Amino acid sequence: MPKKNREINPGGVNGTGKGVVNTNSKDFIGLRKAILEHAKNQSDQDRIRYDLISLKFQMESYIKEEQPPNIINAGEFLRKHLKAVKVKNKDFAKFIEIEESNLSSILRGRRKINTDLAFKLGELFNTNPNLWLLIQSKNELMGLASARKINHKKYKLEDLLKKVS
């Protein structure tokens, strides 16, 4: 007689992302209450640290996503960082020694983050400077591909080698 597999967490989330969570259950409401209570007792420094970690994960997830539903420019991520640390744009621009108008253009996605700024952001927010530049490059490539509607599949190494030989 074959051994029957038993379901450890029937109908619940078990790390696979499958299952249903009843947000009206006593357990879930109790968990939510405990999390909110814990959050109230966090210091501002802890809250900032956790918010920055969350943003770092969001940026990394965005980079890994093949076709994100929305393009998020690096400036938008910077805006979220400034909001998390509760620093005004004017004060931030002065601190990192750039014109406030340049910062504003970066936040709006009208101006690119250069390598110098990427290093400053990496130091300030404990992120890899490449992360900022990767977001920017990813967005540029997605924009170029959609604007030009280029058929990239027509570029094959075999065809190149045939033409040059």
Give the end-to-end CA distance of the chain in Å, rounded to a whole number: 65
Looking at the domain assignment, is residue 125 inside a domain?
yes
Looking at the domain assignment, is residue 105 inside a domain?
yes
**What are the b/e assignments for 100-112, b being 16+ CB within 10 Å?**
eeebeebbeeebb
Residues 4-18 pLDDT 10s: 555 455 555 545 555
Half-sphere exposure of 98 (CA within 13 A, CB side): 20
pTM of the entire predicted model: 0.72
Looking at the domain assignment, is residue 69 inside a domain?
yes
pLDDT at 6: 52
Residues 133 and 114: their CA atoms lie apart, in Å, by 8
In this predicted structure, the answer to whether residue 129 has a pLDDT above a threshold of 60 is yes
Looking at the domain assignment, is residue 144 inside a domain?
yes
Nearest to 80 by CA among 52, 99, 100: 52
Q: Are 82 and 125 in contact (CB under 8 A)?
A: no
Domain with residue 80: its CATH number is 1.10.260.40
Residues 66 and 81: their CA atoms lie apart, in Å, by 24
Residues 32-72 pLDDT 10s: 888 888 888 888 899 999 999 999 999 999 999 988 888 89
The residues, ordered by sequence, that sit 6+ positions from 8 with a Cβ below 8 Å of its Cβ are 14
Looking at the domain assignment, is residue 104 inside a domain?
yes
Looking at the domain assignment, is residue 31 inside a domain?
no
- When divided into structural domains, the chain yields a total of 1
Q: Are 62 and 72 in contact (CB under 8 A)?
A: yes
pLDDT band at 147 (very low <50, low <70, confident <90, very high): low
State the residue range of the domain holding 159.
44-164
Looking at the domain assignment, is residue 146 inside a domain?
yes
- The average confidence (pLDDT) of the chain is 86
Looking at the domain assignment, is residue 53 inside a domain?
yes
pLDDT at 69: 86
pLDDT at 16: 54
Residues 141 and 134: their CA atoms lie apart, in Å, by 10
Residue 91 is encoded by which pair of tokens?
């004060």
